[in-house]
Amino acid sequence: MSELAKGTEVLTSGGIIGKITKVTEGSASIVIALNDTTEITINRNYIVAVLPKGSLKSL
């Protein structure tokens, strides 16, 4: 998915929803914020959907 950029809200294959906080070109990993204090690093291949902006606030 070429639209993966900082600030993009995404859904992973494991059902995790978060906001991308770091994308490194040439790397297979991205960092996703789950809330204000928790971030995880995952392989970008596990992103299954880009969510509409504002999706996290509606949860």
Give the C-alpha separation, 3 to 20, whole Å. Answer: 11
Q: Where are the domains of the chain?
A: 9-50
> Which pLDDT score, from 0 to 100, does residue 1 have?
58
- pTM of the predicted model as reported, rounded to 2 decimal places: 0.88
pLDDT in tens, 19-37: 999 998 888 999 999 999 9
Whether the predicted pLDDT of 46 surpasses 70: yes
Q: Collapse the DSSP code of 44 into the 3-class scheme (helix H, G, I; strand E, B; otherwise coil) and give the result.
A: helix
